[in-house]
A and B are shown apart, each in its own frame.
Chain A
């Protein structure tokens, strides 16, 4: 019998660890809202790795529970290759209504900036009227964050600039001002951010204050480093768990997915892809 440790990958990037760690949060019976960009890669990996028949819904109005076609990775959630591989195609309102009816059990989202209550900003950096940096706007992320049962944020860069005490603009509702403010605003009881996954760690949310705290560390990251790179005074779990490194199988699927994504014009930073075969 092979000793389990030997199956773990030794060299991998923080970005790869983030994708793998996110993939492990999916349960076999989840109904997943499949959003553009990093979430799309995570769901793609999950279908190849563990759950080929995972039920996924996309905001353009399409539902699937089939393994991706091998010839071409979709370049986005609107790729026409998705259509003949789907069980339902309708209007955007169909997909968003699935969400509003409370049928989406899990969603991943990436965002530009996040605060300690898990609110996201993809609208503007600086004053709204005089932006330093204009961002795209939220698209469907506003309702995904508002209405999915479990929301998992993916932040590819764990730094003070991305993790801030207070946002310039709330595009995507997390726990708003913490405590019961999200419920008071009218969002479903069983909804809201469950975790933030970064190259360094997994944060979860205090059940009472709804503030994000450090729950588990990715290998090679330290508590001090996470605290240093977070823009608020981050609270730490009494016992910080250690997350296992990617298995050889996980990293193989992860790298294949990344490679296919690059072929479809995703931009991945060189430091994320240094172990990809050229």
Chain B
């Protein structure tokens, strides 16, 4: 015998509970009697108050304990061996092309098989994908499986169904029957599964590329459309809010068409729609305004040192930079001595040593870690670097001889860039490498600006939001709201993310429901948009079922018998408790 549900073990706790109740509270059958003093020696409890007495072996106690035990067994889902009930395992192709009619036909076929399953049968529903998921089950009741089937929406890009089929084999065991529902002919039909294809070859057009790029005086929309099948042209509409900006039809000479649309200044969310066709999921794209990610720089350097380093001039030349006087709110700190950092902050420490210390003028050659993001494009050709004689902490990024000139110290709460540079002499500050170095540092710090890391993602990719982590800030509690209203609370952490499964505009709400950001999600996969190879057919399994014999038995018979016995016990208990003395 096997127990399929651990809930039954918990239900066994009812047995000691019943015993305790019988110890403290009894309701016995009554009888009028004379000469009660003749029974005084056999009485069970004291006259004053209710107290615990020895356990009475009444039929009520045994009936209730038996009912509780059988109920626990019923909840545990017992199986007494022998032939198992029929177990159908359906693997549903979750690729987006199933939306072109195959999804409805596959769901109808699954419903028909489940309805014909009969009593006692169980169903497992799996969804394919890079990470296969269980929609119902394992071994769910047919009603639950059908309810889960109603909520199935295939939206994924082209993927391998192999992991889902492997999972199905594990869940099916020796006697499960696996059916793979897809929309095309499998490359190699699996031998142990029935394959049912419900697709149909149809022409389809799709948005392949949709980009919103800044241009002088405004923005431009760069679009690329693909046509699969016998399509001569593609018609599309560009709109912003309720206002249609453009409607155009483009020829598809080689199956592709490109369009560039100039957007008026101040245009907010742009929506691009294709004319309705076989697969609607690839016909719409949303493009949000480019996010403004300004790096806050807190300059704590002495004025003379700042002048020597020409930082005002350098930072003014880098776009998206602002000065911040409150150090905890800055992403980049400039200082001549290290301080405490918050998560995500970068601190540049100009530390050539004591002002009257010994200095060395280094002319090269310099050893440069060119793979580091801070040093991309830094050459140091012809540079004379005046540095103090000191050791820098962290990983050396630039060195001359045995002297480290620039290093990175990775801390628990940020990074620190150590720069051994005396700007009173040498020519590094006037060299072209100087603004390149700072541009790299600023761009690296820009990644730490709070907000959505990208405001446009493709379905199946992760959308991320970076918190500011300021006490009492609006992003201490974050909720992701899908276009269909589904809400998901974000986990703790500085960077939180979710994987959109619905195309459209997803909102990131902070505490008090304030909208922190919008993220547009669209579907793009030319392989899925190409419906020309879809077909309808069936490929039966070639390997026989591994279970012995073909007879199947109603697996719920044990549970039904148990339920009947439980009801009989309860009825007998009720009769016993309500029986009165004659």
A and B assemble together = no
